Amino acid sequence: MGATAPGSAWGSCRFCGTAVAPGAAVCGLCGADRPIAASALASAPVGVRRRISLFNGLRAAIIVGVAVALAWALIEAVATGPPNVPDPLTTTGTYTVAPGSVSFLSGEVTGGDYVVGNFTAVQPFEAEVSLSAYNSTEWTSVVKNDSGTAAWSTPLEGSGRIIFTAEYTDTYTFVLTNPYPASSHVTVSVYVATEYESNVGDDGFG
């Protein structure tokens, strides 16, 4: 494609109104022939000039509309900040634990942060259960070998408080255990409420 001579003005497609380079035989966008040279635009038929003006106005409106939409999206993103994802260890719910079995919830805890709350056996009321917290290594051992050392645990009781502090950042699993043997057929429903609390003033934990 040859270079445009200095001072040459672009014309317009008589069909879609797109700017056409000087000397071009057809419109590069729609392929229509006989584009109108810049010097002939003023003397083009009224209908052609109106169509060109309309198309140019529509293009300008689209560009402005897209720019405004992008600006609004950026402003909204800055104003609202990142999405608020609920912490899996801030929750309430009732867990049904079969005799001789367990139920659990897990999530990451940053070193020095807390998980607090309470639990109550609601059916049978205040049937004895235990609650233990395992780090990721010990929980893997529990799953594979049915044995592991809890980082924190409660005695067998019908209700109790949850006050757990993570010594280091890890994924911790809180395990409810129904101690009654399978032959007892005692299924226990336990209501659990937990809340994750950040210890923002403590920089001594990793």
Q: Mind listing the pLDDT tens digit for each residue in 109-137? A: 999 999 999 999 999 998 999 999 999 99
Say yes or no: 61 and 116 in one domain.
Answer: no
Alpha helices of the chain — where are they, by DSSP H?
A: 46-80, 136-145
The rounded distance, in Å, linking the Cα atoms of 104 and 155 is 17
Residue with tokens 């919830």: 105
The rounded distance, in Å, linking the Cα atoms of 76 and 204 is 36
Residue 203 lies in a domain: no
- The tens digit of pLDDT for each residue in 161-183 reads 999 999 999 999 999 999 999 99
Residue 187 lies in a domain: yes
Residue 4 lies in a domain: no
Say yes or no: 60 and 97 in one domain.
Answer: no
- The tens digit of pLDDT for each residue in 137-168 reads 999 999 998 889 999 999 999 999 999 999 99
- Report pTM: 0.58
Residue 5 lies in a domain: no
Residue with tokens 């509309």: 65
Q: Count other Cβ atoms within 10 Å, centred on residue 137.
A: 11
Encoding tokens for residue 72? 């609004």
Instruction: For residue 155, give the 3-state DSSP assignment.
Output: coil
Say yes or no: 52 and 113 in one domain.
Answer: no
Range of the domain at 52: 11-80
In this structure, what are the phi and psi dihedrals at residue 62, rounded to the nearest 5 degrees? -65, -45
DSSP state of 24: -
Say yes or no: 45 and 132 in one domain.
Answer: no
Q: What is the band of 206 on the pLDDT scale with cuts at 50, 70, 90?
A: very low
Encoding tokens for residue 206? 């990793």
Say yes or no: 99 and 146 in one domain.
Answer: yes
Average pLDDT rounded to a whole number, residues 23-35: 79
What domain count does the chain have? 2
Encoding tokens for residue 199? 């210890």
- The predicted structure's pLDDT at residue 124: 94
The rounded distance, in Å, linking the Cα atoms of 152 and 135 is 10
Residue 46 lies in a domain: yes
